[in-house]
Amino acid sequence: MPGRIDGRRALITGGAGGLGAACARALAAQGAHVIVADRDGTAAAALATEVGGEAWEVDLLDTGALESLTLDVDILLNNAGIQAISPIQEFDPAAFRRIITLMLEVPFLLIRAALPHMYAQNHGRIINISSIHGLRASAFKSAYVSAKHGLEGLSKVTALEGGPNGVTSNCVNPGYVRTPLVEGQIADQARTHGIAPEQVLSDVMLARNAIKRLVEPAEVASLVTWLASDQAAMVTGASYTMDGGWTA
């Protein structure tokens, strides 16, 4: 079982639903004070009330507002993400930039805002929700794959710089997780590949898996909680796959 993290302040982006909400509940259960950051302020407030934390309604795509931000948090979970699927020659450049901004530039800005406090107390945990697509590519996902590969590099640089200051930085790399984002992808994949939606899971998403099911959000949250604990103090610069054997 992960060690308790009583009194630690944990910020979770995209925290109001899906994987973020599962992580919020798991971290709160181990004693963390959770800050639920989400553009849906109503959902963020509801979850914050449930876990005894606080809500931060924020549009993370307003990166200018993040450049002067300071964060007094002990745990930063970069989780917010979006997806768009299209062949490269048809990929909307604005959509490409939006994904890179939210899933690479925003984590950089939040890490930048959090490190001074973490360095001052000689303790911190940066946890980045990456993906199998941070390690492998798939067709039609040029923006998502690029963002996640970049996040892997950012996480490793953070680990090297943060290590002497008591800060660890790691990536969690799940396969397809049972979240609204993935459910939305099923329709997109069906349209792109010209197959029925019910074929997408078996023929596309889980085709390489040894275990033929989606990852559950609570499973990812359990790994996140361990990485946030003192038990993981020597774990940094790592990428943890949770993919049912896809990359075996």
Residue 44's closest CA among 64, 29, 59?
59
Cα dihedral 247, 150, 176, 28, rounded to 10, equals 120
To the query of whether residue 176 is one of the catalytic residues in this protein, the response is no
Residue 172's closest CA among 158, 144, 151, 143?
151
User: 128 has which bridge partners?
Assistant: 78, 171
Q: Residue type at 191?
A: R
CA 174, CA 241: separation in Å to the nearest integer? 6
In terms of Cβ atoms closer than 10 Å to its own Cβ (0-12, 13-18, 19+), residue 169 is: buried
Q: Which residues are annotated as catalytic?
A: 144
